[in-house]
Amino acid sequence: MLNFLNKTKSILPKIRHFTSTSSLRTTTENLPKENESQLTKVTEKIAPEPPIILTQNFDTYEPAQVTDSRQVWIENIDDVQERKLGIIELHPDVFAIQPRVDVIHENIEWQRKYRFVSFAHSKTRAEVRGGGRKPWPQKGTGRARHGSIRSPIFRGGGKAHGPRSPTTHFYMLPFFKRVMGLTATLSVKLAQDDLRIIKDVEIPSGDHQFIKDLIIERNWGPSVLIVDKEDIFPENICVATDKLSYVNLMPAYSLNTYSMLKHDTLVLTINAVKHIEERLLYQLHRSDSFAKNAPFKLSQV
């Protein structure tokens, strides 16, 4: 123990006055060999992370045109200043198809109507109060014959063919039109430079000002949709975006055409991109596509 303390006393004065790398090098040369290895571990700088290069494997799902593959930068989100962490290659059948504006419009109309229920209601002649007795005799008065003052042709009478509640507007869009709506919207977002890829959703703090500065620095927005594979997001990003109504978090399984078009910038994590590609490519190349084209039945819900 005493020998260890003596060695520590001989090292500490030399370490206390380090001012530059050259002085550190000269001091290291004068140290004993058993302490040199310990000092090297302490003073060793952290090596920068290697760039992330994610290529596309076309063996499972071969694209229609390999030359149409897209490459996107992978950005960081742990700092306001933008850094390029790597590059990812996207599958052309998902992110580089010819946009079908008509299919995108059909998806938007379907999403707006399929859950809408109209509660507009008008009363018929049987539901309006009054009008129980015959207003005048059938014959002898010279007037037109009527049986009730609540007839639709009378003022204050019932409605002949008015709306009846509840009225559902539910209908189901064909399966492959829904799939094409997702691929077309992703392709449009990428073509308009509104698609950003990030490594993960880990941010250093839960301050909402950090997200505001990040959006301004990266030219995102004004509305941003952040998508990750998992539906449980880290605490910091949940707290930071809680007060920002124009920044929303969404798991990959909830991604839809309406939400992507509602937000100006779509931010996907690497895991979300892989999950979306895997699911959409499976649907585009599934063997039972004929059964999916059958008319929708409520028993399928």
CATH of the domain at 201: 3.40.1370.10
Do 277 and 148 reside in the same domain of the chain?
no
Among 127, 146, 168, give the residue marking a domain's end: 168
Q: What is the pLDDT of residues 127-170, one digit of tens each?
A: 999 999 999 999 999 999 999 999 999 999 999 999 999 999 98
Residue 186 covered by a domain: yes
What length does the chain have? 301
Q: Is residue 217 within 8 Å of 196, Cβ to Cβ?
A: no
**pLDDT at site 58:** 82
Tell me the average pLDDT across 181-186: 96
**pLDDT at site 40:** 52
Q: Calculate what percentage of the chain has a pLDDT beyond 90.
A: 67
Average predicted confidence (pLDDT) for the chain:
85
Tell me the average pLDDT across 257-269: 96
Bridge-based pairing state of the strands 195-198 and 167-168: unpaired
**Cα–Cα distance between 218 and 196 in angstroms, integer?**
10
Do 202 and 80 reside in the same domain of the chain?
yes
Give Cα 59 distance to the centre of its chain: 28
> Domain span at residue 278?
52-60+68-113+172-286
Do 131 and 238 reside in the same domain of the chain?
no
Band the pLDDT of 28: cuts 50, 70, 90: very low
Residue 43 covered by a domain: no
**Cα–Cα distance between 116 and 259 in angstroms, integer?**
17
Do 96 and 193 reside in the same domain of the chain?
yes
Residue 84 covered by a domain: yes
Residue 250 covered by a domain: yes
Beta bridge partner(s), residue 168: 117
**Cα–Cα distance between 287 and 292 in angstroms, integer?**
10
Do 139 and 158 reside in the same domain of the chain?
yes
Among 168, 183, 210, give the residue marking a domain's end: 168
